[in-house]
Amino acid sequence: QVQLVESGGGLVQPGGSLRLSCAASGFIFSRYPMSWYRQAPGKERAFIARITIFGGMTNYADSVKGRFTISRDNAKNTVSLQMNTLKPEDTAVYYCNVFIGDSSGRGTLYWGQGTQVTVSS
């Protein structure tokens, strides 16, 4: 079965850095784009970053562009999110996800359990 396990969250001071990882299993990782989302308290889950299957293309939410970098290692079945210059408003639970479906667009969106990131002095 598909499993996504995030790690690397924690408490960091404003201006600091964290690196999140998502370990994937149960599917052919190298065949699917991967994404990161986050959910802040009282807010809806929001898109952060996406990476294509070989990492050739990435895109980011405006709120993190220039500060966050998504990457993947297809040999290790992991996708990472390097977060620099963190701000208190980056505080959220961070999730990775993958959509596994067919060419018609039907399929299932899988989520990990999330990892908490808290940015506070």
Other Cβ atoms less than 10 A from the Cβ of 67: the count is 15
Where residue 55 falls among pLDDT bands split at 50, 70, 90? confident
- Per-residue model confidence (pLDDT) at position 59: 96
Q: In a 3-state reduction of DSSP, which class is residue 29?
A: helix
Residue 112 and residue 4 in contact, taking contact as beta carbons nearer than 8 Å: yes
* pLDDT at residue 109 is higher than 90: yes
Where residue 106 falls among pLDDT bands split at 50, 70, 90? confident
Nearest-Å Rg of the Cα atoms of the chain is: 14
Q: What is the largest CA-CA distance in the chain?
A: 48
pLDDT digits (tens, 9 = 90+) for 33-54: 999 999 999 999 999 999 999 8
- Per-residue model confidence (pLDDT) at position 33: 96
Mean pLDDT over 13-24 rounds to: 98
- Per-residue model confidence (pLDDT) at position 73: 96
- Report how far residue 105's alpha carbon sits from residue 67's, in angstroms, rounded to the nearest whole number: 32
- Per-residue model confidence (pLDDT) at position 84: 98
Mean pLDDT over 90-119 rounds to: 94
